[in-house]
Amino acid sequence: METLVCVSPGHFEYKASNLPELQAGEALVKIRRIGICGTDLHAFEGTQPYFEYPRILGHELAVEFVEGDATQFSPGEKLTVLPYFNCNACYACRSMKPNCCEHLRVCGVHQDGGMVEYMKVPSRFLIKGYGLSEDELALVEPLSIGAHAISRAQLREGEFVMVIGAGPIGLGIMEMARIGGGKVIAVDVNVSRLAFCQKMLGVEHCLNARDSDLNEKLKTITDGSMPPLVIDATGNVNAINNAFQYMAHGGRYVLVGLQKNDITFSHPQFHKIEGTLMSSRNATMDDFKRVISALQRKEIHAEKFITHRVPFHHVKREFPSYLNPAAGVIKAMIEF
C-alpha cells in the first residue's frame, strides 16, 4: 500500500509499505478522508516544537472498518478515530481526563498517523459514525476541540462568549458555543476570516482586534459588564496576554490556542476580578459524541468549513500551497 511520509521539514515522499499486522485489541481500517490541520502544516514547515521526523501525518480521520478485534463494527462501516492514544493508568486517565494523559501519544503527531491507505488502530479509539458523511466524520476531531473548550468553560445559556482567533479551531469553538446557547463575539485581525464568521456562521458580533475602541465596543455589546467567558484560539502570545483585560468581573478565560512562551498578566487585576484561568487540551470521547450528535441533527454544516480538496496522490504537490495565507484555506480535505 502507499504511504505519504513527511521525511524532513518541507519534504513529503510517497513510499510503499506492507499492510500492518494486527495484535489483540487492534483493528484494521481503510482511510477515507483526512482533514489537514495547523499541526500538519507546522510539522511540514518544521515549526512544530518537539516534532520528530520521519513521520506520517494525519489525525482528523474518517475511516472504514475492515477487520479486527472489535465485535461492535461491521466491515464497510464508516467510523471516526479518537487520535489521543492514552495510557489508561496515570492520574489524568484515572480521573476521566485521558485527553491530558501524562503519556499521551497523539496519532499523526507522536506516532504515525493516517496519510496511508490502511492503518491499524487500537479498537477502543474507534467511534461509530451513525450515518454521517465522510467529510463530517473527518471534521469531528477539530470540532471536538471546540466542544471540549466549551465544556471546560461550563458555558451557561445566554452568556456572551468572546472567541479570539477565527481559524478552524476558533470557528469550531464558535459553533459549539452557539449550540450551547452562548452569544458569540468573534475577534480576529484577519478581515476575511471575520467576514466568514458573519456570512457563513451567522455570528452577530464580529470585531477587529486592531480596532482602537475594541474595549468600548465590548462594553456596549455586553451592557457594560464585559464578556464573562473569553476564549483564546489564536496561539499568539500577545493576543493571549492582552485578552485578560476583556474578562468580566468573576469571568473565565480558557486557553485553547497554544504557543511556546511564558504568559504574563497583572496579578492585582486578576485578583480584583477573581478570574478563572484554564487550559483546554484535546477532547474526550464525550466531546466527540456531542459533536457527532450536533452533526446528525444538522446543527453544524460540515461543508461550510471545507475550502480545499485534494486526492491522496496529489498531496505532495498541493500541500505546500496551503501554507500561503493567500490560498485562504480553512479546512483542506484529503480524499481517497
Q: Which residues of the shown chain bind Zn ion in the complex (CB under 5 A)? A: 37, 39, 86-87, 90, 93, 101
Q: Taking CB under 6 A as the rule, which mask of x and - marks residues 274-303 in contact with ligand NAD? A: ------xxx---------------------
**In 3-state terms, what secondary structure has residue 172?**
helix
Least gap, CB of 166 to ligand NAD (angstroms): 5
DSSP string across 65-107:
EEEES-TT--TT-EEEE--EE--S-SHHHHTT-GGG-TT-EEB
Binding partner of 189, given Zn ion, ligand NAD, none, CB within 5-8 angstroms per partner class: ligand NAD
Q: Which of 47, 88, 238, 293 binds ligand NAD (CB under 6 A)?
A: 238
Cβ-based nearer residue to ligand NAD, 78 or 193: 193
Residues 117-136 close enough to bind ligand NAD by CB under 6 A: none
Q: Is 205 a binder of ligand NAD (CB under 6 A)?
A: no
Cβ-based nearer residue to Zn ion, 147 or 226: 147
Please, are residues 136 and 80 in contact by the beta-carbon 8 Å criterion? no
Checking DSSP bridges between strand 205-208 and strand 183-188, what pairing results, if any?
A: parallel
Question: CA 310 to CA 333: how far, in whole Å?
Answer: 6
Question: Using CB under 6 A, which of the segments 76-84, 106-114, 129-137, 189-197 binds ligand NAD?
Answer: 189-197
Question: CA 54 to CA 51: how far, in whole Å?
Answer: 9
Q: Taking CB under 6 A as the rule, which mask of x and - marks residues 36-55 in contact with ligand NAD? A: --x-----------------
Least gap, CB of 159 to Zn ion (angstroms): 27
Binding partner of 215, given ligand NAD, Zn ion, none, CB within 5-8 angstroms per partner class: none
Asked if omega into 54 is within 30° of 0 (cis), the reply is yes
Q: Which of 114, 146, 257, 275 binds ligand NAD (CB under 6 A)?
A: 257
Binding partner of 93, given ligand NAD, Zn ion, none, CB within 5-8 angstroms per partner class: Zn ion
Which residue shows C-alpha cell 483493528?
A: 27
**In 3-state terms, what secondary structure has residue 260?**
coil
Q: Is 155 a binder of ligand NAD (CB under 6 A)?
A: no
Question: CA 148 to CA 173: how far, in whole Å?
Answer: 9
Binding partner of 234, given ligand NAD, Zn ion, none, CB within 5-8 angstroms per partner class: ligand NAD
Please, are residues 138 and 61 in contact by the beta-carbon 8 Å criterion? yes
Q: What is the DSSP letter of 57?
A: -
Write phi, then psi, for 145 (nearest 5 degrees). -60, -40
Please, are residues 229 and 251 in contact by the beta-carbon 8 Å criterion? yes
Footprint of ligand NAD (CB under 6 A):
38, 145, 164-170, 187-190, 193, 209, 233-236, 238-239, 256-258, 280-282
